Amino acid sequence: MLFLCPAPLKDRTIYVWDGDAFAPVARFAGSLIKLVPTEWGAPTFEIDGIKMLSTAHESPFEDARRKVALVEPRGKRVLDTCGGLGYFAVCCLEAGVAHVHSFENNADVLWLRTLTPDPDEVGPDAPASGGRLQLEHGDVSQAITQIADASVDALLHDPPRFGIAGELYSRAFYDQLARVLRRGGRLFHYTGSPNKRKRAATAPVI
Round to whole Å and give the CA distance between 16 and 25.
6
What CATH number is attached to the domain comprising 156?
3.40.50.150
pLDDT band at 175 (very low <50, low <70, confident <90, very high): very high
- Over range 10-21, report the average pLDDT: 85
Round to whole Å and give the CA distance between 116 and 122.
9
- Over range 147-172, report the average pLDDT: 94
How many other C-beta atoms are found inside a 10 Å radius of the C-beta of residue 58? 15
- Residue 166 falls within a domain, yes or no? yes
Q: Which residues pair with 24 in a beta bridge?
A: 15
Can you give the residue range of the structural domain that contains 175?
60-189
| Reported pTM | 0.86
User: What is the number of domains present in the chain?
Assistant: 1
Q: For residue 130, which of 92, 156, 166, 157 has the smallest C-alpha distance?
A: 92
- Residue 68 falls within a domain, yes or no? yes
- Over range 42-55, report the average pLDDT: 87
Round to whole Å and give the CA distance between 200 and 180.
27
pLDDT of 39 > 60? The answer is: yes
Least confident of 57-71, 108-122, 126-140, 159-173: 108-122
- Residue 24 falls within a domain, yes or no? no
- Residue 55 falls within a domain, yes or no? no
Round to whole Å and give the CA distance between 178 and 175.
5
pLDDT for 57 equals 87
